[in-house]
């Protein structure tokens, strides 16, 4: 096979996206279309977002010692500065990757502008989502650590 002239050359961009209304999953004897499976996944994501914002509000309302709040604020500021620097680096790296993608899709493969813009758009969406999750994680972590430390000093933990 390695020496054969019958090898195919294709990339991920050549993969056909199937019609989501055609596929079916089976759960506990019930069939669910691919489209509905994806739709329910979106509802799970929305529910998770709501739940995380609710927990954020609950944690923020918990009592905190003033000095612990200052330490948490300093830690958050340091992490935020680091995250901003990482964001700048990722944007520069993405600029380089975007140039390579454009050369590849336009020059080598001959894809239309709409395909290249779609790839770049969803790449940005993915990066922005990861960046937002990191930012949220840093924020909720500093809130929770300061409040948990204060609760342990008082001799009791509050679970909401």
5 token code pair: 């002239």
pTM more than 0.75: no
Alpha-carbon 92 to chain mean position: 19
Domain coordinates in residue numbering, the chain: 19-61, 64-160
Neighbours of 147 (CB within 10 A): 22
Q: What is the pLDDT of residues 108-156, one digit of tens each?
A: 888 888 888 998 999 999 999 999 999 999 999 999 999 988 888 776 6
The CA dihedral of 21, 26, 31, 32, to the nearest 10 degrees, is -40
Structure tokens belonging to residue 23: 């596929």
- Chain segment 63-97, per-residue pLDDT in tens: 998 999 999 999 999 999 999 999 999 999 999 99
Strands in the chain per DSSP E: 24-27, 30-33
* pLDDT tens sequence across 28-59: 889 988 899 999 999 999 999 999 999 999 99
Gap between the Cα atoms of 137 and 130, Å rounded: 11
């Amino acid at each position: 096979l390695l020496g054969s002239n019958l090898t195919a050359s294709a990339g991920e961009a050549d993969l056909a996206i199937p019609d989501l209304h055609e596929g079916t999953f089976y759960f506990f004897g019930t069939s669910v279309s691919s489209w509905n499976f994806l739709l329910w996944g979106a509802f799970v994501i929305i529910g998770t977002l709501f739940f995380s914002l609710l927990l954020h509000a609950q944690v923020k309302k918990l009592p905190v010692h003033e000095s612990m709040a200052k330490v948490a604020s300093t830690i958050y500021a340091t992490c935020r500065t680091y995250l901003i620097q990482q964001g700048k680096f990722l944007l520069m790296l993405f600029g380089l990757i975007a140039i390579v993608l454009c050369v590849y899709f336009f020059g080598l493969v001959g894809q239309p502008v709409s395909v290249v813009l779609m790839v770049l758009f969803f790449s940005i969406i993915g990066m922005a989502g990861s960046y937002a999750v990191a930012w949220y994680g840093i924020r909720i972590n500093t809130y929770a650590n300061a409040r948990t430390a204060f609760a342990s000093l008082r001799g009791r933990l509050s679970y909401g």
